[in-house]
Amino acid sequence: MSGGVDSSVAAALLVEEGHDVIGVTMKTFCYTGTGDHGKTCCGLDGIADARRVAVGLGIPHYVFDVEADFTRDVIDDFVAEYARGRTPNPCVRCNSFTKFQDLLRRGRALGCDAIASGHYVRMDRSGPEPALLRGLDRRKDQSYFLWGLPRDMLPLLHFPLGSLTKAEVRERARALSLATAEKPESQEICFVPTGDYRDLLRTRLGSTHPALEPGPVVDRTGSILGEHPGYAGFTVGQRKGFGGGFSEPMFVLEIQPDTRTVVVGTREELFSDALEVREVSWLTDPPPEGTTVRVQLRYRAADVPAVVTGCGETLDLRLQEEVAAVTPGQSAVVFADERVLGGGRIMDARRNAPRSVLQS
Amino acid sequence: MSSLYFDHAATTPLRDEVRAAMEPCLHGNFGNPSSIHRWGREAAAALDGARARVAEALGATPGEIFFVRGGTESDNLAVLGRTRRLVVDGHPPRVVVSSVEHKAVLAAADAALHGSDGVPATLRVGVDGSVDHDALADVLARGPCVVSVMWVNNETGMILPVPEIAARVSGSGSTFHTDAVQAVGKIPVRVDQVPVDLLTVTGHKIYGPRGTGVLFVRTGVEVAPLVHGGGQERGLRPGTEDVAGAVGMAEALQLAVLEQEAERTRLAALRDGLESRLGTLVPGLRVNAGDAPRAPHISSLGIPDVDGGILLGALDLEGVGASGGSACDSGAAKASHVLTALYGQADPLAALRLSLGRATTEADVDRAAQVVARVVERIRSGGVDR
């Protein structure tokens, strides 16, 4: 329970259904000294909100200090990925490790036999094995974040909000007079209280780390177009930050950490049709080569059709339609219709088809 | 589910006698003690009566008793207020605290030295309750300072050698304060027998009302106020007095002192029974500060191979209210600075504090021991690592 409306309603629905529910807030990050106790979901205000809701529902509530685990699995990885010139997705890491695995380990000690959360995803238990499906409210669907769950955890997971819309959830919250009914959505990265992740990188890496030092901005031919203040401030597809003077808008195509180089190009040069995915994890049996699947390459992006061209430790995908700004570090999540099959981290994106084909 | 409250060192419920004593001050006798009319006069009389009773219970004179709004405020007034007074008199700010003080004293000591070059000196306390007297002598030799050493440690129940320290500080030109919040009602606390300069007591640990406290200030010791306003409490703690709170505090203190000897014997027997049962039932159990002289109501346990936060949650689910290390403001269990001071940073044992009170019975102790043993066993078999 983050103290937000989603997990509050999820808890209320479970209580209504007659489950024996224990509320838990995971303290992932220490806000002491940041001067910001309320802005994000797991700050002190979030804990107080969650506790108030739990007391209102008549359920116990505990705060688990998972700061050490969260720092290791999420924050350290976040920093290391930016240092490698990639764009990490910490929410995926948190869902893969902290939110479910660490919680279950602790929950088991309290005698719990299942984990529930306020994610907008569904569990279909009609088949021989539980299937993780997209949330019915596609604008809120959070399945993109959950591909890294261990497959054997699926039978233990419950997502009471998966078939509801956000509007319905808010309505439920009001009907239950939940303290958090009107709480705004949290969007920012919870462990970046300043809102600028580069502040965190400076603290963790030191301001003289190569990722935070100036380097060249070049085009695909290698011509130097200018200088940037540190490649960790850039992400593939980003348009801002190069000043003017170009005949058409310029986008970040690639980050080369070894030489601190940021490669830029036109929008047309951003498109890829093949990608390599590593740290692959499956919630089903892996799809054999040649299978046509759908793949989502960014949170809130539409999925696109793709063919599995290699599936082992590395997953290779050929996209059936070209996609702009495929970003190393983000997740590639593989679906069969609504069902999450698995996913991994994007390592590399390529353009195999000749330029003319893509342009056509 | 049984309901076993084992957190009396955190707070205690209001006693019926205390509630009854406070009742008139909440209704009929509601006046402001500073008012010149009948209502004011009656309130002032109630306040004076409370002051006299507190003084009697501690072996002080009424003029040495100042009502404040709790133990933390009393500690701050003593450590910070006394240091400020020394600075006004032209001395550099110097504070010495024990390594196991309550946060109220530690933070007040830091605040007292804020802006100066110094940091509070620390007197190391051993697991046997001993204090480094040579270090104390060194500090005292260097000029006037404020020494603050608690009488009974709130996390372990350890009794510190306050009479010896008070005797050493007395006449040295320095000031000695003791936080006796966990000591009153549990062991003898008499300022006419122990030469402390400043002493802190709070109401809610002894079945009195929350938000009430006392600072004893020995005649001749001057303390600078931290709050400024009217002349209440002779200017040391301005603000319209909480007469009902003072009356409740006085009643609670008097009862606690009256019952101290019998209650000490009874609670010590219960605590010893609890620890011996747990020693049998929980492999690897350590009684923290077990070889030190201890107040009778606190049992601090070190338990290997469990997560402290999980343990407290699991006990709560079984109806047992207990504490771990000191709770941080978020409610998550944090490593205790007291146990760190005693056992080192790398101590792998989870902290469990079970504290007993007036209502605790032998049957409660039996059940609590069984629940703790069962829960520890379950956590260990669940493979939760620390």
3-class DSSP state of A306: strand
Asked if B214 and B201 touch (Cβ cutoff 8 Å), the reply is: yes
Q: Are strands B95-98 and B121-123 parallel, antiparallel or unpaired?
A: parallel
Q: Distance between CA A39 and CA A45 in Å, rounded?
A: 8
Asked if A122 and A78 touch (Cβ cutoff 8 Å), the reply is: no
Is A41 a residue whose pLDDT tops 50? Answer: no
Percent of chain A with pLDDT over 70: 92
The pLDDT tens digits of the residues spanning A54-93 come to 999 999 999 988 889 999 999 999 999 999 999 999 999 9
**Residue of A122, A160, A124 lying closest to A6 (CA atoms):** A160
Tokens of A330: 């983000």
Residue of B nearest to A50 (CA): B330
Residues 6+ apart with CB under 8 A from A265: A219, A220, A250, A251, A253
pTM beyond 0.95, yes or no: no
Asked if A217 and A38 touch (Cβ cutoff 8 Å), the reply is: no
**A284 CB-contact burial (10 Å; exposed 0-12 / middle 13-18 / buried 19+):** middle
Compare CB distances from B378 to A64, A106, A111 and report the shortest one's residue: A111
Asked if A177 and A156 touch (Cβ cutoff 8 Å), the reply is: no
Q: Distance between CA A273 and CA B148 in Å, rounded?
A: 72
The dihedral of CA A255, A257, A262, A263: what is its sign? Answer: negative
Inter-chain touch A27–B379, beta carbons under 8 Å? no
Residues 6+ apart with CB under 8 A from B109: B79, B95, B97, B101, B120, B148
Residues 6+ apart with CB under 8 A from A112: A22, A104
Q: What pLDDT is recorded for position B333?
A: 58
Average pLDDT over residues A108-132: 95
Q: Mind telling me how many Å the CA of A29 is from chain B's nearest CA?
A: 11
Strand partners, A349: A275
Size of interface A-B (CB pairs under 8 A): 53
Q: What pLDDT is recorded for position A213?
A: 95
Active site includes B328?
yes
Tokens of A356: 């003319």
Compare CB distances from B313 to A27, A47, A110 and report the shortest one's residue: A110
Q: Which chain A positions have a beta carbon within 8 Å of B379's beta carbon?
A: 109
Q: What pLDDT is recorded for position A46?
A: 82
Neighbouring C-beta atoms of residue B378, cutoff 10 Å: 18
The pLDDT tens digits of the residues spanning B82-93 come to 999 999 999 999
Q: Distance between CA A86 and CA A92 in Å, rounded?
A: 15
Active site includes A190?
yes
Q: What pLDDT is recorded for position B385?
A: 38
**Which whole-number Å values give the CA distances from B142 to A200, B139, B347, in the listed order?**
45, 5, 35
Q: What pLDDT is recorded for position A352?
A: 79
Strand partners, B354: B299
The pLDDT tens digits of the residues spanning B89-132 come to 999 999 999 999 999 999 999 999 998 888 899 999 999 999 99
Measured in whole angstroms, the distance separating CA A15 from the mean position of its chain's CA atoms is: 28
Asked if A251 and A325 touch (Cβ cutoff 8 Å), the reply is: yes
Asked if A323 and A303 touch (Cβ cutoff 8 Å), the reply is: no
Catalytic residue among B26, B119, B137, B328: B328
Compare CB distances from A62 to B313, B378, B379 and report the shortest one's residue: B313
Q: Distance between CA A240 and CA B9 in Å, rounded?
A: 59
pLDDT averaged over chain A? 90
**Which whole-number Å values give the CA distances from B16 to A239, B13, B248, B252, in the listed order?**
72, 9, 10, 10
Asked if A260 and A210 touch (Cβ cutoff 8 Å), the reply is: yes
Could you say which residues from 57 to 116 on chain A have a Cβ atom under 8 Å away from some Cβ of chain B?
60, 62-65, 105-106, 108-111
Is pLDDT larger for residue A241 or for residue A334?
A334
Q: Interface pTM (ipTM) of the complex? A: 0.81
Residue of B nearest to A26 (CA): B332
**Confidence grade of residue A357 (pLDDT, cut at 50, 70, 90):** very low
Measured in whole angstroms, the distance separating CA B109 from the mean position of its chain's CA atoms is: 16
Q: Which chain B positions have a beta carbon within 8 Å of A64's beta carbon?
A: 309-310, 332
Q: What pLDDT is recorded for position B174?
A: 97
CA angle B228, B233, B236 (to 5 degrees): 45
**Confidence grade of residue A177 (pLDDT, cut at 50, 70, 90):** confident
Residue of B nearest to A105 (CA): B384
Is A185 a residue whose pLDDT tops 90? Answer: no
Q: Distance between CA A207 and CA A233 in Å, rounded?
A: 13
Catalytic residue among A91, A94, A112, A311: A94
Q: In chain B, which residue ranges form alpha helices assigned H by DSSP? A: 16-26, 38-58, 71-76, 82-88, 103-112, 133-141, 162-169, 243-281, 308-317, 337-343, 362-381
pLDDT averaged over chain B? 94
Could you say which residues from 308 to 337 on chain B have a Cβ atom under 8 Å away from some Cβ of chain A?
309-310, 312-314, 316-317, 329-334
**Residue of B97, B102, B151, B103 lying closest to B121 (CA atoms):** B97
Q: Which site among B303, B330, B375 would you substitute to test the A interface, given the most A Cβ atoms closer than 10 Å to its Cβ?
A: B330
Asked if A61 and A2 touch (Cβ cutoff 8 Å), the reply is: no
Compare CB distances from B329 to A22, A44, A109 and report the shortest one's residue: A44
**Confidence grade of residue A142 (pLDDT, cut at 50, 70, 90):** very high
